Amino acid sequence: MSNHNILVLHGPNLNLLGLREPSIYGHQTLEDINGILRLDGEKMQVSVTCVQSNHEGVLVDQIHQALNKYQGILINAGAFTHTSVAIRDALAGVAIPAVEVHLSNIYRREEFRHHSYIAPVAIGQISGFGANSYRLGLRALVDYLQKDL
């Protein structure tokens, strides 16, 4: 295994994946996605830890606790993407490379979803590919970290 540990953060309502608006978010559950990410991580020789919370402060705490433990953060902040200066500031504060992901294409949805507080402090953003957004984001993050060695 490489020395890269990746923290995957899932924001509010993502615990309802598979049940919540499957026409938008698909039929895979959060556990399905986490399992796929862990397997992909093994293949890429990185360790993947997944955390979901419906609470903004818990996500901020997880980002703070990532210091000196994780080399990268893959984040789907859900609705907090469009509202949370606190999560944005936490990511900027720890300066751990982060990739923002979304299951749906946020730019093809309601106008309020078009703005991301996270994008300016992330190394990149992937949206619109369903569960594959996470897989693409993980691959991009690992590639970024490996080039940064």
User: In 3D, which of 2, 8, 24, 31 has the Cα closest to residue 100?
Assistant: 8
User: In 3D, which of 50, 53, 6 has the Cα closest to residue 31?
Assistant: 50
Is 40:139 a contact under the CB 8 Å cutoff? yes
Percent of the chain with pLDDT over 90: 79
145 is in an annotated binding site: no
| Residues catalogued as catalytic | 25, 102
Q: CB count, 10 Å around CB of 25? A: 19
pLDDT per residue as tens digits for the range 74-84: 999 999 999 99
Tokens of 79: 């609705």
Range of the domain at 31: 7-147
Residue 112 lies inside a defined structural domain of this protein: yes
Residue 143 lies inside a defined structural domain of this protein: yes
Is 37:52 a contact under the CB 8 Å cutoff? no
61 is in an annotated binding site: no
pLDDT band for 2, please (50, 70, 90 cuts). low
SS3 49: strand
Residue 2 lies inside a defined structural domain of this protein: no
Residue 15 lies inside a defined structural domain of this protein: yes
Residue 94 lies inside a defined structural domain of this protein: yes
Q: Full-prediction pTM beyond 0.85?
A: yes
113 is in an annotated binding site: yes
d(CA 67, CA 34): 22
d(CA 100, CA 26): 19
Residue 122 lies inside a defined structural domain of this protein: yes
Mean per-residue pLDDT over the chain, rounded: 92
pLDDT per residue as tens digits for the range 5-19: 999 999 999 999 887
Dihedral sign, CA of 14, 17, 22, 27?
positive
**pLDDT for residue 25 is more than 80:** no
**pLDDT for residue 126 is more than 70:** yes
109 is in an annotated binding site: no
Q: What is the CATH number of the domain that holds 52?
A: 3.40.50.9100
Q: How many domains does the chain have?
A: 1
User: In 3D, which of 56, 137, 63 has the Cα closest to residue 101?
Assistant: 137
Residue 1 lies inside a defined structural domain of this protein: no
